[in-house]
Structure 1
Amino acid sequence: MAELDQVKLLAARYRAASDRPYLASALYSLTVVPTSRVPTMAVDRHWRCYVSPAFVEATSVPELAGVWIHELAHVLRDHHGRADRLPAADQRDRLRVNVAQDCEINDDLLADGLALPEGRVEPRTFGLATGRLFEEYLPQLPPSAVCSDCGSGAHGTPADWEITGDGPGGVSTVEADAVRRHTAEAMRAHRRNRGSLPAGWQRWAEEILEPTVDWRRVLAGAVREAVAWATGAVDYTYHRPSRRTAALRGVVLPSLRRPLPVVAIVIDTSGSMGEDDLAAALAEVTGVLREVGVGGNRVTVLACDADVHTAARVTSAQQVNLAGGGGTDMRVGIRAALALPERPGIVIVLTDGFTPWPEAPPSSRLIAALIGTDPPPPPAWIETVRIPGTADA
């Protein structure tokens, strides 16, 4: 194996860290492993960077700096962790996964003015739009799409030239998470003090610092808990006598039952609410209710602005009449829901949050499903789920 030009390689890393100081800590977390078994540079999931001496010799310092950042981006963006969640058929086609990942990275690097060697892949190589995640690019790539193997730090599959996990060097999972958060915080500070970031890096940093929560899962969990709480209140019924009745001549014993609770959905139909957002959110919420076993005639929907316009039991979102368009006071809808002939065990309020709220918790569980990008928070005692509007999704 030819001798690695350490001075040139480290000069390129120094240039990358100097030009983009928010990446410095992450760049210096990579451990260099010289090897002639990779054609260019590659990285494993333990942050070891495998470097071809011949590639270093043939490549300029500016382009080497770009490749340093390219390989770093694979592990910073947790490409290997995300690849592990792909369907098995996609995981087996690791080089095609690698191409999709390179498309995600390289459009940001080129937009940032970085020099990259010839032969790189980017979205326009395949006639694709920029600014997407690799999971979006993957199904759009032709079956023949291949690139240089960037290692298990990209596609997740260890190569035979990689050092085993317990070998020298490397970064642990906990350390990697700490480096990612530190880098995201440095990017936020850079944007605040100096200027802009490529859209992909900006999106990544925001996700690290303020991770997106799957609101459907949160709502389903809250509803499941509320259903369990409501069904925990057992009642007696003579409609189905107890099996012990047969042992007592002339006496009929009631059996225990756990009634499935009624759910009321109060929809904010004031002028500030978009009809598309309301319809989409209502369809999602009724889907969540069906998922946890609440359906049939157990759901009552109330359309409310400053007054309740409609209140009806529904079996699908298409049956709802979104009447309203005036002022906003969800307290009216909540009171109407609690006054229904069959009192609901759970009340879900779909609103943009610009409404007064009750001063004290009602006896039923109350869940506020807030629609939009920046809704004002309700009182702390109200269970809250944030639902992105159609314009944000």
Structure 2
Amino acid sequence: MSAPSTLGLDVDKLYAARLHAARARPYLATALFALHPVASSQVPTMAVDRYWRCYVSPAFVDRTPLEELAGVWVHEVSHLLRDHHGRGDRVARARGLTGPGERLRMNIAADCEINDDAFGDGLTMPEGAVEPASLGLNPGELMEDYLRQFGLGPRTQDLVWLDCGSGADGLDRRWDLGPDGAHSLSEQERDAVRHRVAEGINGHPGSVPGGWRRWAEQAFHPPQPWRDLLGAAIRSAAVAAGVGADHTYGRPSRRSASLPGVILPSLRRRPPTVCVIVDTSGSVSDAELGSALLEVAAIARALGGRRDLVSVLPCDAAARVVHPLCRAQEIPLIGGGGTDLRSGFARALRARPRPDVIVALTDGQTPWPSARPTSRTVVGLFPRRRASWSEEVDRVPNAPPQWARVVTVGAT
């Protein structure tokens, strides 16, 4: 099925409003330009479906000032980013909410969640936009909370026209093109858009409203705390085949009996040793260096508290002095220059005895060894985001090599 014609729709005005919205809310630009507009005389204003199509009334575009139209763009894309369609379906199932009246309440509640801090600072509030205060509600709450606090009645009678589409409450509309229609985004593409927006917000939190900051912080939770993952990765590397294994003649091998006159050494398991390479380059903040020392202590705990098995190697563009782990707080993390952890890996592998496991704590802005090190390797990666909205994607650090087990440090 193909999309309806845009005949009669003032596309220039619509796109100019979208550009205005992107300039006013640069952290939403990726999402705004991912929406595909579809002209439809069936929608009262603008509405979205869960597949990131935006249905637009040509008459609404004609009569609405460009500045207000920009606000509607931001409003509609906010429904999709905040997964109001999925959340609406889950609430409907959990609370037994059925019928168009309940879906209208969901739409109103979702609008309250968005509109309490969506406008101002370059965005004009569209005519008829509902705010929590207009229903006697407090700002800063979620759609699910608002649903418990109001019903349809005198305060909502002027909102019966409201319809932001299936993307706002999960109920399919007659104008929806469906999953097989033109210009839909796949689930993976939708997740990629949300991830890019969340990444941009987390990289510039000071200029973003509190509601969006909370959304970005909660958008993508890994299934386990990162520290547990780091400990598990180290333990897994430490018990791998060949790690912590050595031969000794102190206890001859039982196979010596089959070879008279020949004494064969036996294989002895010894506690594995770990060398922690800490990236001390100028791109790593003092807070991250402090966090690195905490991780060194956590690594020792993962090895049963054996601090004598852990050494620390500060490294920026050159490897520094290797420090035994007595007290993590007393290890000097010297550096501040460029980054080349290859020198750190080379220094660690020259140590005698050679460490069984190498852990690199870094922001990833470094060249990596071209070949797999002979020691098992775990990379604790400090999150690093773009410094500005316009920074090119190819300036974001490349992922560590496939031979490393990677854990994001600081993910909750």
TM-score (norm 1): 0.51
**Alpha-carbon spacing, 1:272–1:141, altered in 2? closer, same or farther (3 Å):** same
Alignment partner of 1:114 out of 104, 124, 146: 124
CA positional deviation for 1:18 = 2.8
Aligned runs of 1:188-267 on 2, under 5 Å? 220=229, 224=233, 227=236, 231-233=240-242, 262-267=273-278
Matched with 1:144 is: 149
**Alpha-carbon spacing, 1:65–1:42, altered in 2? closer, same or farther (3 Å):** same
Retained in 1: the 8 A contact 2:9–2:39?
A: no
Alignment partner of 1:311 out of 309, 324, 329: 324
Deviation per CA, 1:285-321, whole angstroms, max 9, x where unpaired?
876998xx765548624264664474238xxxxx622
Matched with 1:10 is: 9
**Alpha-carbon spacing, 1:81–1:361, altered in 2? closer, same or farther (3 Å):** farther
Retained in 1: the 8 A contact 2:18–2:73?
A: no
Aligned runs of 1:378-393 on 2, under 5 Å? 383=404
Matched with 1:280 is: 291
**Alpha-carbon spacing, 1:280–1:31, altered in 2? closer, same or farther (3 Å):** farther
The separation in 2 between residues aligned to 1:31 and 1:169, in whole angstroms, is: 14
1:30 partner SS: strand
The separation in 2 between residues aligned to 1:218 and 1:91, in whole angstroms, is: 39
**Alpha-carbon spacing, 1:322–1:357, altered in 2? closer, same or farther (3 Å):** farther
Deviation per CA, 1:132-189, whole angstroms, max 9, x where unpaired?
xxxx85688694268856343134x325x556775895643339949x97xx99xx9x
Tell me whether 1:302 sits opposite 2:301 in the alignment: no
Deviation per CA, 1:223-270, whole angstroms, max 9, x where unpaired?
7499369613386999xxxxxx9xxxxxxxx99999885443233568
**Alpha-carbon spacing, 1:18–1:389, altered in 2? closer, same or farther (3 Å):** same
CA positional deviation for 1:347 = 0.9
Alignment partner of 2:38 out of 6, 9, 30: 30
2:65 partner SS: helix
**Alpha-carbon spacing, 1:237–1:332, altered in 2? closer, same or farther (3 Å):** closer
CA positional deviation for 1:116 = 0.4
The separation in 2 between residues aligned to 1:335 and 1:286, in whole angstroms, is: 22
Alignment partner of 2:64 out of 45, 58, 61: 61
One-letter identity of the residue aligned with 1:17: Y
Deviation per CA, 1:271-297, whole angstroms, max 9, x where unpaired?
98655322334546876998xx76554
**Alpha-carbon spacing, 1:50–1:289, altered in 2? closer, same or farther (3 Å):** farther
> How big is the alpha-carbon RMSD for the aligned residues of Structure 1 and Structure 2?
6.7
The separation in 1 between residues aligned to 2:367 and 2:50, in whole angstroms, is: 50
One-letter identity of the residue aligned with 1:174: S
The separation in 1 between residues aligned to 2:122 and 2:178, in whole angstroms, is: 36
Matched with 1:193 is: none
The separation in 1 between residues aligned to 2:111 and 2:36, in whole angstroms, is: 22
Deviation per CA, 1:40-95, whole angstroms, max 9, x where unpaired?
65433145667899x959x9422873575145414663635774898996998985
What are the ranges of 5 or more consecutive residues in structure 2 without an aligned counterpart?
A: 1-5, 23-28, 157-161, 201-206, 249-254, 256-264, 388-394
CA positional deviation for 1:32 = 2.2
**Alpha-carbon spacing, 1:60–1:106, altered in 2? closer, same or farther (3 Å):** farther
The separation in 1 between residues aligned to 2:52 and 2:396, in whole angstroms, is: 41
Matched with 1:363 is: 374
The separation in 2 between residues aligned to 1:332 and 1:167, in whole angstroms, is: 51
One-letter identity of the residue aligned with 1:231: A
The separation in 1 between residues aligned to 2:304 and 2:320, in whole angstroms, is: 26
TM-score (norm 2): 0.50
1:10 partner SS: coil
What are the ranges of 5 or more consecutive residues in structure 1 without an aligned counterpart?
A: 1-5, 129-135, 189-197, 239-244, 246-253, 314-318
Matched with 2:186 is: 174
The separation in 1 between residues aligned to 2:168 and 2:12, in whole angstroms, is: 23
Retained in 1: the 8 A contact 2:278–2:360?
A: yes
1:34 partner SS: coil
Tell me whether 1:43 sits opposite 2:43 in the alignment: no
**Alpha-carbon spacing, 1:113–1:321, altered in 2? closer, same or farther (3 Å):** closer
Tell me whether 1:158 sits opposite 2:164 in the alignment: no
Aligned residues: 332
One-letter identity of the residue aligned with 1:65: L
Retained in 1: the 8 A contact 2:17–2:70?
A: no
The separation in 2 between residues aligned to 1:82 and 1:91, in whole angstroms, is: 15
1:363 partner SS: coil
One-letter identity of the residue aligned with 1:335: R
1:20 partner SS: helix
The separation in 1 between residues aligned to 2:12 and 2:127, in whole angstroms, is: 18
1:29 partner SS: strand
One-letter identity of the residue aligned with 2:48: V
**Alpha-carbon spacing, 1:255–1:100, altered in 2? closer, same or farther (3 Å):** farther
